[in-house]
Amino acid sequence: MSDGLPSGDLLAGLAGPSTEPLASGAVLLRGFAADEAAALLEAIGRIAAQAPFRHLVTPGGFRMSVAMTNCGAVGWISDRRGYRYGADDPETGKPWPAMPPLFRGLAGRAAREAGFPGFEPEACLINRYEPGARLTLHQDRDEGNLSHPIVSVSLGVPATFLFGGLDRKDKPRRFRVDHGDVAVWGGPSRLAFHGVDALKQGHHDLTGQLRYNLTFRKAL
């Protein structure tokens, strides 16, 4: 690749023609959601009509560059009081929109493909990236049971996914993620630090200059 990022077939022979290992317990399933992508985006539009995208604030008062919303039994929330899950959207006071069966089915199949059968997410955090938006290195550790994996679906404009180790100081590896790619991590990599580099200018026929990400979690 011209940008120097690992190609989709790098190391693929170790785990299959469309699977790229990230670390122990972590894989990137290339194009796994591509056939369902248009339907996934339509569902995101319906969810956002009920629970609009918003820029959350961190406990330290930092406004996130990524716009977010949720669906499922609970949603992930960040404000000056901290990080947590809640059953109601704090902006509307109503329950988060139900998770579409399409979402739940995709998450379960991807987890099973990655070696984590029986995954039934209760929360789906939906991120919307505009050019320049990024997600700093962090761990997903607000969930009540860390024995379940994280499933992350990329839609729209390509991005650079950062996947590090269990210590913030560990230098992360860089992976290009394209429309329809799905990353799954759990087991020894469940608390790996990860993030997304600032989104570059680009265009996708279904999303324009935007990238969407679905992050499925067993939250309770």
User: pLDDT digits over 136-170, tens only?
Assistant: 999 999 998 899 999 999 999 999 999 999 999 99
**Would residue 197 be called left, alpha or beta, if left means φ above 0 and alpha means ψ between -120 and 50 degrees?**
beta
Query: What is the mean pLDDT of the segment spanning 68-92?
Result: 97
Between 145 and 120, the higher pLDDT residue:
120
Collapse the DSSP code of 110 into the 3-class scheme (helix H, G, I; strand E, B; otherwise coil) and give the result: helix
Q: Is the pLDDT of residue 1 over 80?
A: no
**Looking at residue 124, what is its pLDDT?**
98
Query: What is the mean pLDDT of the segment spanning 196-202?
Result: 98
Q: Is the pLDDT of residue 37 over 80?
A: yes
Query: Which tokens sit at 190?
Result: 């469940």
Query: What is the mean pLDDT of the segment spanning 43-72?
Result: 97
**Looking at residue 123, what is its pLDDT?**
98
Over pLDDT 70: what percentage of the chain? 92
Q: Is the pLDDT of residue 13 over 80?
A: no
Which domains does the chain carry? 12-217 (2.60.120.590)
The chain-wide mean pLDDT, for the chain, equals 93
**Looking at residue 56, what is its pLDDT?**
97
Residue ranges with strand state E in 10-158: 19-23, 26-29, 67-72, 75-79, 82-86, 123-129, 135-138, 150-156
Collapse the DSSP code of 89 into the 3-class scheme (helix H, G, I; strand E, B; otherwise coil) and give the result: coil
Residue 11: φ, ψ to 5°: 65, 10
**Looking at residue 2, what is its pLDDT?**
37
Query: Which tokens sit at 160?
Result: 């650079």
How far is it, in rounded angstroms, from Cα 220 to Cα 44? 23
pTM of the entire predicted model: 0.91
User: How confident is residue 7, by pLDDT bands cut at 50, 70 and 90?
Assistant: very low
User: How confident is residue 5, by pLDDT bands cut at 50, 70 and 90?
Assistant: very low
How far is it, in rounded angstroms, from Cα 56 to Cα 70? 12
**Looking at residue 6, what is its pLDDT?**
39
**Looking at residue 95, what is its pLDDT?**
98
